[in-house]
Amino acid sequence: MSSTESININSLHELQLQMPRIVPAVNANPGLALAAAANPLLALEQLGYKLSSPAQEEIERYARFGPDNLKRLAELETEFGKLLTTKTMPADPSEARALFEKSGYEPSDKSAANTKTTLKPAKNQSLTTSLTAIFASKVLAEEEEKKLLRELSAQHPGLPLLYQYRKIHRQRPAFATRSAFESILAGEKNTLVDQVEFSLSRHRDTTKKHSVD
């Protein structure tokens, strides 16, 4: 593709049709290939592809999470939404706390299963601790995670759903910023980057670590 040529992309499907051109172009430029691992959308921009806003959102989610994780995220969003009467997932602990406090919770006592109550002070403190754990970046060992999930389930059925949702996001970090991408492209970045090997066809995606020299 020449420097003056550009192709408009309006959907993931349209981009998939361009992959026979994209893959050789990326592989022909080692610096771009490495930068593409950090942010494939900006790599497409370097190649002259212009993504519409809906296409960019669709492609970014597909490239970052893959079809299996996207399906699971949608399931978690639906379940959580029914429990907390919301259409969006909370983005941070304070937003989540406000949502839980507004919605109340179902007591774990079966005799009061149909009674909605307000979070009590002790429960409030426990909720704060739980949300801190849910939004933490720490990767838990298997036994630690099982213990945490038991504690979350005992407090509110929505908490383990939120934990699983945030876990998927932790495992699939957001793409590099433009400045980081440009540093990698220029050979200035000397660090580890998360390489998301994504297929824009229908193959499964994996995550690897690569050193940027």
Task: Identify the pLDDT of residue 203.
Answer: 41
Coil/strand/helix, residue 105: strand
Assess whether 162 and 190 both reside in one domain: no
Calculate the CA 102 to chain-centre distance.
Answer: 26
Going by C-beta distance under 8 Å and a sequence separation of 6 or more, which residues neighbour residue 179?
Answer: none
pLDDT band for position 116 (cuts 50, 70, 90):
very low
Q: What range defines the domain where residue 182 resides?
A: 7-65+174-211
Assess whether 92 and 157 both reside in one domain: yes
Assess whether 88 and 141 both reside in one domain: yes
For residue 35, pLDDT beyond 90: yes
Assess whether 143 and 192 both reside in one domain: no
Assess whether 134 and 196 both reside in one domain: no
**Does residue 117 sit within a domain?**
yes
**Does residue 1 sit within a domain?**
no
Give the separation between CA 161 and CA 77, rounded to whole angstroms: 8
Assess whether 47 and 80 both reside in one domain: no
Give the other-Cβ count within 10 Å of 172's Cβ: 19
Q: What is the largest CA-CA distance in the chain?
A: 71
Domain count, the chain: 2
For residue 117, pLDDT beyond 60: no
User: What are the two backbone dihedrals, phi and then psi, of residue 201, each rounded to the nearest 5 degrees?
Assistant: -95, -125
Assess whether 93 and 21 both reside in one domain: no
Give the separation between CA 103 and CA 91, rounded to whole angstroms: 17
Q: For the segment 3-15, what is each residue's pLDDT rounded down to a tens digit?
A: 447 899 999 999 9
